[in-house]
Amino acid sequence: MQLNIRKEGDFEFIDEGNGEILLLLHGLFGALSNWAEVVNYFSKTHRVIIPMLPIYNMPLREAGLNGLVRFVEKFVNFKKINQITILGNSLGGHIGLIYTLKNTEKVKRLVLTGSSGLFEDSMGGSYPKRGNYEYIKERVAYTFYDPHVATKALVDEIFEVMNSISKCLCIVAVAKSAQRHNMANDLIHIKIPTLLVWGLNDTITPPLVAHEFDALLPMPELKFIDRCCHAPMMEHPHIFNQYLSEFLEKYKI
């Protein structure tokens, strides 16, 4: 199944299937394609929506978590959707957490995988090395247990982004905003079922982070995947989809 990117108003997004709504949020260097296997599997039974977050082309003064949360709010209102289950990977999880706190009436379930919000170690924290393909290749591979998942197409895509000064400035601004925004004191207020799916070999948000989320959230369910790093839905989509299916069935809306 090829992902069909739609354009409406100021938004680009995936919108496939019918039924309960799964809203998927990608990470700092993520793309809509990161969720391809989730879309393929769940669009048969659910409505799966993925907005393209404007991480690389926001006005610099708005580049940060608050600007991205406002974007998601505008998108959700534009699509007139409710009773949402939010899935967020890495930065997308962080955005999902803040959105949920601000819009509790719209979000019924939350799924976090390799989420920032407590701690992360990523290449976005300092100015990235522009023009150095091997460095970018190494850092992309660093996010996967199996470096072969970091395909040439994926590395090329990120390399192109990193060669733009304006996009790099946005990346740094967003990454620093995420590092400053620790949510340890906020998680107690997220009183909805929350699935945590974590790679046991995550080098960006290590397993200790998952355990901390598990301890601080009121209704958590923690699942680990072995031989898996920062993007379980890409490295082990079958296991990820199984855990998600069980969670959705357990907490039917």
Q: pLDDT (tens digit, 9 = 90+) per residue, 47-101?
A: 999 999 999 888 888 889 999 999 999 999 999 999 999 999 999 999 999 999 9
Exposed, middle or buried: residue 88 (CB in 10 Å: 0-12, 13-18, 19+)? buried
Each residue's pLDDT tens digit, 45-57: 999 999 999 998 8
Sheet hosting strand 6-8, strand order edge to edge:
6-8, 11-16, 47-51, 21-25, 84-89, 107-113, 194-199, 220-225
The amino acid at 66:
N
Which residues share a beta bridge with 167? none
| Residue 251 or residue 164, greater confidence | 251
Q: What is the mean pLDDT of the chain?
A: 91
CATH number of the 6-118+182-250 domain: 3.40.50.1820
With a cut of 90, say whether residue 244 has pLDDT above it.
yes
3-48 pLDDT tens trace: 889 999 889 999 999 999 999 999 988 777 889 999 999 999 999 9
Per-residue model confidence as pLDDT tens digits over 206-219: 999 999 999 999 99
CB atoms within 10 A of CB 149: 15
CB-based contacts of 240, cutoff 8 Å, min separation 6:
37, 38, 113, 197, 225, 232, 233
Average pLDDT value for residue range 140-166 = 84
User: Which pLDDT belongs to residue 121?
Assistant: 56
- Identify which has the larger pLDDT, 22 or 131: 22
